[in-house]
Chains A and B, each alone.
Chain A
Amino acid sequence: MFHYLLKRLAFMGLTILAVSGLTFFLMNIIPGGTAELILKHTVLELEEIPTSEQIAEISSQYNLHDPLYIQFGRWLADALHGDLGSSYILKKPVTYLLLLRLPATIYLALASMTIAIALGVPLGVICAVKENKFTDYLLRIVTLVGVSMPGFWLALLLILLFSVTLKLVPVAGYGGIKYLILPAIALSMHTMAVTLRMVRTGMLEVMNQPYIAFATSKGLPPRYIIIKHALKNALLPTLTVLGLSLGYMLGGAVVIETIFAWPGVGSLLVDAITARDIPLVQGCVLTIVGIFVTINLFVDLIYTYVDPRIRYG
């Protein structure tokens, strides 16, 4: 177990390093000079064209003349010491900005995850029990829509119906539970649909296993068999998908956060990319990847608890 953990942690480090490096180089090869964009987002108006003196001044201020690998090396050395640098535009430490935004992201992700699990699991069981009956067909159509519909479109439709027409909840923003409802629903829809499908398929497969026939032959009530014998087995493959989804939500709810003006890490990242705020982009990506790989490690560790057959050597 110890060796397994050590190996996993090493790979996690490598993944984070690779993603950070890739992001850094990609950010620098996008057309348009970094110095120019920094100027346009700070001292100048967007339409103004900066003078070459201004660009030279900014470039030397942030060491943008150095070769990329030196710039990245410097960032990496600082990052390893826990210093993620300061935002070019907002002039504040990246760590401070991230800590400011993370709670909103976690709040939204947990709410969406709760909705997805609370609806997806029981509805998946119902689908499997009512296989090829009306309820099953209806729910399967709903999930098909949920899986295929882009999140931003669903978000806009929800705003149109519940905020603009019915005026039940605010259009966008951050505050009490009223602000949470729409983004949480929009973000949870996809995961809910995937969970439902996974649980349904898992249940149908498990219900044909000999241990279910044997449990039935013991005279156990059907409800007990479904919950105690079948659901536990059917949830095993779903667990991985839920872990991945939570990772996406905690890091990559970029679109939904932007639409609802939700002050999370995702919208911070979008702002940072537009302004070519490289330290902030690096910080956001580092956080997102870190959260993602950590959750996946946790899911794999949870498996040893849920499934007694799994042991990591």
Chain B
Amino acid sequence: MALLEVSHLDVGFNTQLGSVQAVNDVSFQIKKGETLGLIGESGSGKSVIGMSLLRLLPMNACVKGEAFFEGKDLLTMKEKDLQKIRGERISFIPQNPTASLNPLLKNGLQVSEVFERKGHSKENSWKSALKVMERLMIRDPGLSAKKYPHQLSGGMRQRLVAGIALSLQPELVIADEPTKGLDSLTRGKTIEFFKHLEGDEDRAMLLITHDLDLAYEICDRLAVLYAGEIVEMGPAGELMDLPSHPYTRGLIKSLPKNGLIPLEGRSPSLLELPGGCYFGERCCHHKKECSCKHPQLKNSGAWQTRCHLN
């Protein structure tokens, strides 16, 4: 049985300009110990999926569908029950670690409060927090714990945020763009860190990223998102080597190591999606059928593609 089973997930936002459909009928599964990568460009709905699973989206979000975690639906369960799952069983590594740490609270407290909530005493929680920080290769944890987030380096903040999320040994980690905005050295270290995580047999991960190299290195399976829907999903290695959807092919060609060939055009506005295939206008294999009929996700074994060509 899958650890997490998401089916027909829809996420819309009510804005002044009308309703924006950010995620459209997304279904996927994550097995115990498996790493699934969600890739796609900015605005494709990757982060929204991650946040919707733990119900972290703002009030104007409208989430539909199901997300079963060990037989219980995360999207409809009581807030109190979800609170017990958050952090302890499913945790979240946010993008932008700088904005995700409270500027007015000491680093140590932001780690130790996780243990305190579990009923540990203040002293023991602080000790556990120091241990977590030591494991994260943060220099002089005792001193850093008494400092505030702005006094740490960017890389340290990134590791601290990841460390907080992992401190209670959750079964599933949702990592939202862990390499976004990092310099190449810090990025390298972060990739090492995640590779190390992935080695843990029991821990499943949902990795949300636009960093294809990172996804290739640590994911078991990949799902490619475009304008809020999955256009292709399959085993990571094969998908990267032999992509079948024209969008995935375009993404891979645009990597620096493959010649940095940009994908022409831009994604459609989520306020008014085109009638046929959302990728139709940018696709070089465009057929008549593509502009009138929206393609469905087709299964072939472990592989799924949303395209009229296949």
What is A's interface to B at a CB cutoff of 8 Å? 131, 208-211, 213-222, 224, 228-229, 232-233, 306-309
A221 touches B150 (CB 8 A): no
6 nearest A-B residue pairs (beta carbon)? A219-B87, A217-B92, A219-B86, A214-B100, A210-B99, A308-B148
CB distance from A305 to the nearest CB of B (A): 11
Seed contacts A216-B56, A217-B87, A222-B79; 12 additional CB < 8 Å A-B pairs: A211-B99, A211-B101, A214-B94, A214-B101, A215-B102, A218-B117, A219-B88, A220-B83, A229-B102, A233-B104, A307-B103, A308-B151
List residues of chain B with CB within 8 A of the CB of A214.
92, 94, 100-101, 161, 164
Residue on A nearest B167 in the bound complex, by CB: A218
Distance, CA A307 to CA B103, complexed state (A) = 8
A217 near B94 (CB under 8 angstroms)? yes
Residues facing A in B57-85 (CB within 8 A) are: 58-59, 79, 83-85
Q: Whole-angstrom distance between the alpha carbons of A308 and B100 in the complex? A: 16
Residues of B within 8 A of A216 (CB): 54, 56, 86
A217: nearest chain-B partner, CB-CB: B92
Question: Complex: how many Å from CA A209 to CA B103?
Answer: 11
Cα separation A228 to B51 with both chains bound (whole Å): 22
Determine how close the nearest CB of chain B comes to the CB of A308; give it in whole angstroms.
4
Are A213 and B56 neighbours in the complex by a CB distance under 8 Å? yes
Partner of A309, one of B83, B92, B150: B150
Given contacts A214-B94, A219-B85, contact A309 B103 (CB under 8 A): yes
Question: Which label, helix, strand, loop or mixed, suits the secondary structure of the A interface?
Answer: helix
Question: Given the complex, which residues of A lie within 8 Å of B165, measured CB to CB?
Answer: 217-218
Q: Say yes or no: B99 contacts A209, CB within 8 Å.
A: yes
Closest residue to B99 on the A side, CB-wise? A210
Cross-chain pairs A/B with CB under 8 angstroms, 8 sampled: A213-B94, A216-B56, A217-B165, A228-B113, A232-B104, A233-B104, A308-B103, A309-B103
A229 to B92, CA, bound (A): 18
Shortest B51–chain A CB gap in Å is 7
B102 touches A233 (CB 8 A): yes
User: In the complex, what's the smallest C-beta–C-beta distance from A203 to chain B, in angstroms?
Assistant: 13
Contacts of A229 in B (CB 8 A): 102, 105
Q: How distant is the Cα of A218 from the Cα of B56 in the complex, in angstroms?
A: 11
Cβ-based interface call for B27 (8 A): no
B6 contacts chain A at the CB level, 8 A cutoff: no
Bound Cα distance A208, B61 (Å): 13
B148 pairs with A309, CB closer than 8 A: yes
| Residues on B with beta carbons closer than 8 Å to the beta carbon of A208 | 58
CA distance A216 to B54 in the complex (A): 9
- The answer to whether B84 touches A219, judged by C-beta atoms less than 8 angstroms apart, is yes
Chain A nearest Cβ from B204, distance in angstroms: 16
A220 to B125, CA, bound (A): 14
> Is the CB–CB distance between A217 and B114 below 8 Å?
no
Q: Which residues of B contact A213 (CB under 8 A)?
A: 51, 56, 94, 100
The answer to whether B244 has its CB under 8 Å from any CB of chain A is: no
Q: A208-B58, A210-B99, A213-B51 are in contact. Are A306 and B104 (CB under 8 A)?
A: yes
Q: How far is the CB of B159 from chain A (nearest CB, A)?
A: 15
Q: Give residues 80-125 of B contacting A (CB, 8 Å).
A: 83-88, 91-92, 94, 96, 99-105, 113-114, 117
